[in-house]
A and B are shown apart, each in its own frame.
Chain A
Amino acid sequence: MPARRIIPCLDVRDGRVVKGIRFRDHRDAGDILEHALRYRDEGADELVFYDITASAEGRNVDYDWVRRVGRLIDIPFAVAGGIRNVEQAAACLEAGADKISINSPALERPELIGELACAFGSQCVVLGVDSFRDGDDYRVKQYTGSPDTTCDAGRGTTDWVREAVDRGAGEIVLNCMQQDGVRAGYDIEHTRIVVEAVPVPVIASGGAGAPEHFYDAFQWAGASGALAATIFHDRLVSIPELKEELARCGIEMRR
């Protein structure tokens, strides 16, 4: 395993960074470039930018900010939001993104995963999954950018990630929806089930509130990376201190 990755996630709407609690009530959290540079300087291993309104409203990613981010930072970053075809993905990669992350469009048309993997290679294709614990079952949600559009995608989570990997997805970002924004820790069992279901890297998402939550995601769920927004945006945990703490606990970190 490479060093485990610490991945700040920036939800983007109308060219600004926003953050919501459980996918609702988004509030402005600042300028994209300022955040990107700060995280790079603090030692983030990768960044993910989600255009949270794109899929729900049927809009495309605005590639101009992708280009500006690409010029500014020298660590990898992924862009998600409304990428529906190979041409849009190519424009996004040309603008400097290293990976594209698809979620609702892949549920609408699973063939998209294979088309992207064929054109750019699996290592560029990330599948974002919004997963919901429903009793003993895990279900996929769709159009989660807004509470008004969120709906059941009609798929079980493990079936969907296995199918996506068979079609060419090279990484899974698993967002456990009940945990998102509440800082109670990643859903370890949920994440471990997905890690064991697929051969590709799995990134834990949703619920980080303290350094031990990252430890649990790496040590007990087997996640390759852990994604978080609130605790980094609100400076509840600093990335250098987090990495030092995790390294002290025996988790390999790039420092």
Chain B
Amino acid sequence: MNLAIVDLGYGNVGSIGIAFERFGVAAKVTADRDLIAGADKVVLPGVGAAGHAMAQIEARGLAGTLRSLAQPLLGICLGMQLLFERSDEDDTLCLGLIPGRVRPLEPAAGRPVPHMGWSRLSVRDSRLGLSDGDYVYFAHGFASDPGPETAASVDYGREIPAVVRSANRLGAQFHPERSGEAGARFLRAFLDS
């Protein structure tokens, strides 16, 4: 399998690559348009703020490449948020591959922001490798709104999409590479998709 992890300079791509190595898949971390377009599957990771990440994508000339992929594309955490039309974080225009907007989470008593830690999933889609009640690890201060693309969610004052799916595009708001056995099942299902 030819798996490309999009290299945006900074970011936590190390642990994502290692997670795939556990399945015997050596991912290529690259910002090369041809390598990304030619991969069997593509992972868009993201640590940081939306504005900075989109600027990195534009600077590498990758926005068009990512929009035109027909193979499975997995966005992780900020990488999932970039799949939407726009983000309130830095008021950023994103890739527009999934309808909707990313908004800040609102802190409340007993509900700190960022949403950080292991939360319990409600799963709508049986193809994700995830089960209702699985705990997975989140670390985010912004989130999308639920919609027809929502495949799994958590309750955090409002319903937060934990997984979105639309055509070839899959997004995980949580960190599958740091979610123990449940995260491994999710990545396995992506590799098998």
Contacts and interface: CB of A to CB of B under 8 A. Distances in A.
Interface of A: 1-5, 40, 45-46, 67, 70-71, 74-76, 90, 93-99, 118-124, 170-171, 199-202, 222, 224-225, 254
A46 to B, nearest CB: 8
Contacts, number: 118
A76 B62 CA distance: 29
A124 B19 CA distance: 19
A97 B18 CA distance: 12
Interface residues of B, number: 41
Interface string B163-193: 0000000000001011111011000000000
A2 B115 contact: yes
A70 B18 CA distance: 8
Q: Is the interface of B mostly helix, strand, loop or mixed?
A: mixed
14 contacts: A2-B115, A2-B116, A2-B156, A3-B119, A3-B120, A67-B14, A76-B178, A96-B12, A118-B48, A120-B11, A121-B49, A123-B141, A171-B116, A200-B113
Given A76-B178, A120-B10, A122-B141, 19 more contacts: A1-B110, A1-B111, A1-B117, A2-B119, A71-B18, A74-B179, A76-B137, A93-B14, A94-B14, A98-B139, A121-B141, A122-B114, A124-B12, A124-B48, A124-B139, A170-B114, A170-B116, A200-B112, A254-B118
A45 B13 CA distance: 21
Interface in B41-58: 47-49, 52
